[in-house]
Amino acid sequence: MSKSEAANKRRNLLVACGFTAMFTWGFLAFVQIGRYAVEGTLFARVLDGRPYTNDFVSYYNAAVLGRRCFTEKIDIYNIDIQNESLNRLIAPVVPELPFFLQYPPYFFVLVSPLAFLGMLPAWLVWISTGLFLMFCTYGKLASPSYPQLSKQRLLFALVLSSFPCWLSVQLGQTSLFLFAATASFFCLLEEKRGAFAGAVSGLHMIKLQYYPVIGLVGLIFGRFKFLVGAAGILALLLGLSVFVLGLDNVIHYPQALLKGEAGPGISGVSPHAMQNVRGQLHVLVGGDLPVVRYVSLGALVAGIAFVGWLWGFAREKLCRFELHGFRLLAAVTILIMLVTSPHTHSQDYLLLALPAVMLRPWLDERCAGAGAAHLRFARALLIWWPAASWVMFFLMQLAPLTRVQPFFVWALCLLLPVLVEIVTILRKEPVQAS
């Protein structure tokens, strides 16, 4: 056996061992969720003397309130009504602060069928649907670069083994559906099916903090067709909301959104745990001070403006030089969306799996040349992301000491080398025909 063959054999063995360790860890982590379910502590329990409540309880509570609106008129954004209903769901555990869900009114309508099931069966239906949509959309996104079904399944298994996916499943988080919506959105835009992309963006309207970026990209690339699709789905959602919840609940939503963001004495907004500009500034200055909010708002505006410039002015030139131009811009857009959004938590970094599959083929090509150390660094970040996400989970607990929000820093370290390369590409002069 030659030295090169022996080296390849050792490398393949190490890769196989790494995959086995990653999948074993992920499997055991999901087993722990099963234990919580069997013990009856999945949705509410006491940890270190303090009550813990699963996010899905708030979603199920929204379903209960939405179902009640079919038979009686209630104010779904009344904190007392929300809290009284939620406390009945998690008794005997009592939360320290009232929970307040400031999701749009159509969310209450869309989840209302879950109220016909018990909370555990509803959670099972919810996460099963989310994971199925993830599997379908991720396979679609990965298929151009990874046409073999076996590789697509391997990639999805790695996504499942990551901490953000595990956390999303445990919490029953809407990030599962956000993942599927974002993958579908960019696939449809890439296929120039703007109207369908606009309709799919309706799921992003549930997490409104991400819609400015998604909507801007859709308008620039999909144009009128996207606008028709987005306007159509929004009209449908608002119409259903008025029909089921009543006009008052729809009109009061902006006030409820402000109440949830700035209202004292309620739970639901946790700047100290956010993995974005806001969360990073929070741990640096020691609180959600006005300067933190102003700088975070400035970062959001700057991020939206930069995304608009990329898609509106730089895209044409970039795509002339790069076969993967569209996917390169899509990946950068997702990363900018994550780091500059005013609300980004660790479970939202499940979206990192999308830039991973979109950037990897491009990075493989660029890393083949000399002087690509910054891109090899970015490539390593993508390859190690599923395993590193668990390390970042433990580092999150040290954020008050380290003054670092690990998921935010990871995304920034991935984004900056890619942006440097994009700027380098855009500085090239177009080749003149002889």
Question: Between residues 307 and 319, which one has the greater pLDDT?
Answer: 307
Instruction: Check whether 376 has a pLDDT greater than 60.
Output: yes
Q: Which of 78, 64, 175 is nearest to 117 (CA)?
A: 64
pLDDT at 184: 96
What are the start-end ranges of the H helices in 116-210?
Answer: 119-142, 149-160, 163-171, 175-190, 194-200
Whole-model pTM: value is 0.92
pLDDT at 4: 64
Instruction: Check whether 106 has a pLDDT greater than 60.
Output: yes
pLDDT in tens, 141-158: 999 888 888 888 888 999
Q: Is 401 exposed, middle or buried (0-12, 13-18, 19+ CB in 10 A)?
A: exposed
Q: How far apart are CA 377 and CA 414, in angstroms?
A: 8
pLDDT at 232: 95
Structure tokens at 383: 């390859």
Across 27-36, 315-324, 333-342, which has the greatest mean pLDDT? 333-342
DSSP type of residue 356: H
pLDDT in tens, 9-28: 777 777 777 778 888 888 88
Q: Mean pLDDT of all residues in the chain?
A: 88
Q: How far apart are CA 227 and CA 192, in angstroms?
A: 13
Question: Between residues 287 and 209, which one has the greater pLDDT?
Answer: 209
What are the start-end ranges of the H helices in 49-144?
Answer: 55-68, 79-90, 105-111, 119-142
CB-based contact 44:55 (threshold 8 Å):
no
Instruction: Check whether 431 has a pLDDT greater than 80.
Output: no
Q: How far apart are CA 113 and CA 306, in angstroms?
A: 40
pLDDT at 434: 32
Whole-angstrom CA distances from 394 to 371, 389, 402, 406 are 34, 9, 12, 9
Residue type (1 letter), 259: K
Instruction: Check whether 229 has a pLDDT greater than 60.
Output: yes
Tallying the residues shown for the chain, one arrives at 434
Instruction: Check whether 226 has a pLDDT greater than 50.
Output: yes
pLDDT at 97: 78
DSSP H or E segment with residue 351 = none
Confidence of residue 163 (pLDDT cuts 50, 70, 90): very high
For residues 395-421, average pLDDT = 90
Q: How far apart are CA 210 and CA 304, in angstroms?
A: 10
For residues 363-369, average pLDDT = 81
Q: How many helices (H) and strands (E) does the chain have?
A: 21, 2
